Amino acid sequence: MFLQIASFSAKLLAVLAFAFGIHILALYARELPLLDHHIILSYVLNFVLAILIYFFVLQASKKPNAQAGFVFVFGSALKFIVFLLVLKPLYNADGTISLLEIAAFFVPYFLALIFEVFSLSKHLNRQ
């Protein structure tokens, strides 16, 4: 199982690093601030939470009572709770949440989510 998680983590890191590079290039091309809006924190939080969710879903999938789906949904809810507790106050510090701040959260969120779903469905279909 360690190898599975390490493989998932390495692939997810590659996906998010590539996306981060594209994200930064897009900001640079539009002459916008590159590392504002807590973009690094957002990518790191989404990376760590995706690995945790993947781990716990794998653990739940080993049990015969099929709780993996509930664990996945709970994990996805946990991501939004972290957003509300950690990132939203930072984004809302100036009184508004800009489109750049929304993108700083949702780009890594959706990429990590898509990668999680793809990886977990591949794993669970093999069982």
Measure the CA–CA gap between 105 and 92, rounded to whole angstroms: 13
Domain assignment of residue 112, given as a range: 2-126
Per the structure, the count of domains in the chain is 1
* pTM assigned to the model: 0.90
CB 120 within 8 A of CB 54: yes
In percent, the amount of the chain with pLDDT more than 90 equals: 61
User: pLDDT tens, 53-106?
Assistant: 999 999 998 887 778 888 999 998 998 898 889 988 988 888 888 888 899 999
Q: Which amino acid is at 94?
A: D
Question: For position 51, what pLDDT does the model report?
Answer: 97
CA dihedral sign, ordered 5, 112, 21, 81:
negative
CA dihedral sign, ordered 40, 13, 105, 98:
positive
Q: Which amino acid is at 40?
A: I
Q: Which residue has the tokens 């999938």?
A: 61
List of residues 6+ apart from 95 with CB closer than 8 A: none
